[in-house]
Amino acid sequence: MMAADPMVRIRNLRKSYGATPVLRGIDLDVAAGEVTCVIGPSGSGKSTLLRCINHLEKIDSGYVEVNGELIGYRRRGDKLYELKDKVIARQRAGIGMVFQNFNLFAHMTVLENIIEAPMAVRGKPRDEAVEMARELVRRVGLAGREDAYPRQLSGGQQQRIAIARALAMEPEVMLFDEPTSALDPELVGEVLEVMKDLARRGMTMIVVTHEMSFAREAADKMVFMDGGLIVESGPPEEILRAPRQERTKAFLSRVL
């Protein structure tokens, strides 16, 4: 029986800012339903990798595929040509992203924040969008706060609504860029619980994180990046307990 194609396939991904290389040839496969946690020091390219997956950053070479579809480009012969903005927006709608800072619209209620994109991008009727939004608010543990404005919510609550908003687009993949790093320590757990629930439900997730306990508990695979390269990858217990590379050992000795 042949193995299924990965949900996310990245090959020889390279990205520089001016003369500074940030990604220096990344190869990564993420299977459907798999949770991959990406760890590494600041400046190692973790966030840039996520932003290249949904084409928030243009790549210099290599490619990214999500569910077999080339993201951001079409291939003609050996060359890649960037797609039109409208097509990229459609692709991006299937790749949910949750940032460090919640990026909620301050002038909109919780419900309005969640229904905006499904209606505008997916063309979902308002009553369907509202019904789905209410269910998502319940799933992230905030039922009854649909009419609240972001300023009336704690940081952890805002981040949970940001997750609900991303889920409202019914994405195939969810990307998380250090989703708890801007939170007070006592609020971190409530966001991680929502993410663990997503993992249990089989969502394909790529999570840049410093939360090693979350990675140990929820991840299927851990990737350690440094200097724009994947230095080591494998099951979390294996990486955390017995890393093979000296650079990984040095990093973990400072964070565990």
The rounded distance, in Å, linking the Cα atoms of 108 and 24 is 40
How much is the pLDDT for 184?
93
What was the pLDDT predicted at 78? 84
pLDDT of residue 1: 45
Q: Are the C-beta atoms of residues 162 and 154 closer than 8 Å to each other?
A: no
DSSP secondary-structure letter at 84? Answer: P
pLDDT confidence of residue 3? 61
User: Domain spans of the chain?
Assistant: 105-170
pLDDT of 4 reads 76
Global pTM? 0.96
Name 158's Cβ contacts closer than 8 Å, sequence gap at least 6. 102, 104, 150
Confidence (pLDDT) at 177: 97
Which residue positions in the chain have pLDDT lower than 50?
1
Q: What is the dihedral of CA 50, 53, 54, 56, to 10 degrees?
A: 60
CA distances from 182 to 119, 132, 143, 154, 215 (A): 29, 28, 23, 12, 18
